[in-house]
Structure 1
């Protein structure tokens, strides 16, 4: 048993807990979660709730004999979101607030900062932020796709101490427990690699959009920001008492000893690259061990269209992903430099412009 030191936590609640029969919201499993939130707040712990379930909550309002098209699901989400928020609000004697997000909101740095500021202001004033993906308006290009990964992005944005993903399983097993009776629960994961992903198998919920793989992805995002991540069974009452007693009810993914800085984490795990630059070689390091910048004469190719300030991928000619970075120049100008590398005009231009990528706006990627 350990004394709780959390100051701020993010809870992710899946669709299977919200609307287990897909016929509207049900309080059967949510009352225990709501009581857990109340008890955390009573201890001075700030709570942010990421709640799935709008589509499942609204499904009963639409014909069952028609195919579930994308448009139909968007309508279900619109109707189900109000029902879900009303249900959560009934559990509490303190105010809550709805925040609907898309990946487009999170990957835009200005909007990301706005989300942070709004969330912090709500918490400072005792309001419970309840967050969900904005399924009604999102598109393939703008969606996160699952609330496991969304909860990790929210936890990073909110500088949380812990992310707790409530699921319909107890945690991560060495093999799929639905198929293997001898599956063993893994109480602690100290590092996430391909072997951990392999243990996730293909287990999915009959109601939600995620599975164990997305939960591990979320854990990888969160732990790299220094956030302890739990996967626990939200159907069992003992889960909540164990958490409040400082015990691990399922699987805990331990955070990095040296977490990524906030801006680097956002660039690595949240921002999508708008294009890519192929460079000659790798990054230089200074004597102090700092990552060097990329100069114009190191550019081999430019792919995609991007503007100043957009996030881009930097790779070398053999395809190795080197880094994600903020572009100091547009793709149009960099294409011109790459295409006219040997010209006299380009040589003069190379000397007159600054670095293509600055070392303060770069996130190195692990080489495969």
Structure 2
């Protein structure tokens, strides 16, 4: 079915999104990269920026670009080391393609799943991406294929995009593909396959509809796209799948109209975030705060600054989830700490402007940022997390 005949629906409201673009949309027929489809997607990003929105781009295409750089000398097989070498070679032309299409400065961000599993590197990656967005820069994220092993073999940029969406607190994950929607069966093999306009839950029946990779240059397929949608849904982020090859579909996105498949989120983004913060295992240590901080943290969406801290109990590290307690020892909030216990002890009671002076470095003025914290009083008052 043509994308022109898909059911039109409103694109979910969003202020920050992650857009994943696959190799099939960037690889030229004769090798290398082409702007044929990327140009319309870049125009969508530019329009979104003009409307006050932010986009993080997750782009494939480095291996295809590297192969074209070597031409006749390019390795023909699928040897992992060879593919990693091609990815390293192709990163520069892939970034150059997006810079040539973007009115914004473009920044390359290379990540592996290990970067996102390690708490400290996770916080550093998030801080970098947030700062790039604040500077009105277009981050172009890719897997660090030269050091990744399982990720490169699995072609996991779909899942990486979902993880990045959660990392930057995105409102929406957009997956531009060479297929226009999720179908009830593989439309390349079953002429009776019908497109699904909306998926409210990724059940085993829905997952069974996934097929394999669509072409030789792409290593992902519908299955990895559904995995990505499931990860995003768990983080409270809806996903849309659409054809990046259909100019009318991409132009409709610019008008807030989706011709493709919408995957609903399991709960709102804030609910998902608060649920995780409320129920995830916390470090054994805690941060004790004064009465003023207790009042500020009780449902008022305030960050925890050094001035409100009395002391740190026990041990915890930067990136650990810690409980924040009052003078009576009762927990008032939980959050991800930007500093380790020893650093918190040195900062306790100080003005936030003194952080760099005391430590010799700074991860920010907030010891626990409000976006990384849930007030237990707020939960008890609203019951929002367990909805």
Q: Tell me the TM-score normalised to structure 2 length.
A: 0.65
Report the secondary structure of 1:79's partner residue.
helix
**What corresponds to 2:3 in structure 1?**
none
Question: 2 CA distance for matches of 1:76 and 1:204?
Answer: 21
Does residue 101 of structure 2 align to residue 91 of structure 1? yes
**What corresponds to 1:41 in structure 2?**
49
The alpha-carbon distance between structure 1 residues 7 and 144, as it changes in their structure 2 partners (threshold 3 A), is: farther
The alpha-carbon distance between structure 1 residues 18 and 142, as it changes in their structure 2 partners (threshold 3 A), is: closer
Equivalent pair of 1:23/1:58 in contact (CA under 8 Å): no
Equivalent pair of 2:123/2:319 in contact (CA under 8 Å): no
Question: 1 CA distance for matches of 2:110 and 2:91?
Answer: 10
The alpha-carbon distance between structure 1 residues 165 and 152, as it changes in their structure 2 partners (threshold 3 A), is: same
**What corresponds to 1:199 in structure 2?**
209
Query: Which is richer in helix?
Result: 2
Question: 2 CA distance for matches of 1:151 and 1:189?
Answer: 19
**What corresponds to 2:183 in structure 1?**
173
Question: 1 CA distance for matches of 2:84 and 2:75?
Answer: 17
Report the secondary structure of 1:34's partner residue.
helix
Matches within 5 A, 1:201-216: 201-216=211-226
Gapped regions of structure 1 (runs ≥ 5): 269-307, 312-359, 361-368
**What corresponds to 1:260 in structure 2?**
272
Gapped regions of structure 2 (runs ≥ 5): 1-8, 281-316, 321-373, 375-387
Question: 2 CA distance for matches of 1:186 and 1:105?
Answer: 35
Equivalent pair of 2:27/2:61 in contact (CA under 8 Å): yes
Question: 2 CA distance for matches of 1:42 and 1:261?
Answer: 28
**What corresponds to 1:343 in structure 2?**
none
The alpha-carbon distance between structure 1 residues 144 and 102, as it changes in their structure 2 partners (threshold 3 A), is: farther
**What corresponds to 2:64 in structure 1?**
56
The alpha-carbon distance between structure 1 residues 97 and 180, as it changes in their structure 2 partners (threshold 3 A), is: same
The alpha-carbon distance between structure 1 residues 229 and 19, as it changes in their structure 2 partners (threshold 3 A), is: same
RMSD (Å), alpha carbons: 2.8
Q: Tell me the TM-score normalised to structure 1 length.
A: 0.69
Equivalent pair of 2:154/2:219 in contact (CA under 8 Å): no
Does residue 237 of structure 2 align to residue 227 of structure 1? yes
Once the 2 structures are TM-superposed, how far is the Cα of residue 52 of structure 1 from its aligned partner? Answer: 0.5
Once the 2 structures are TM-superposed, how far is the Cα of residue 144 of structure 1 from its aligned partner? Answer: 7.1
Once the 2 structures are TM-superposed, how far is the Cα of residue 97 of structure 1 from its aligned partner? Answer: 0.6
Equivalent pair of 2:17/2:55 in contact (CA under 8 Å): yes
Of 18, 24, 43, which residue of structure 2 is paired with 1:16? 24
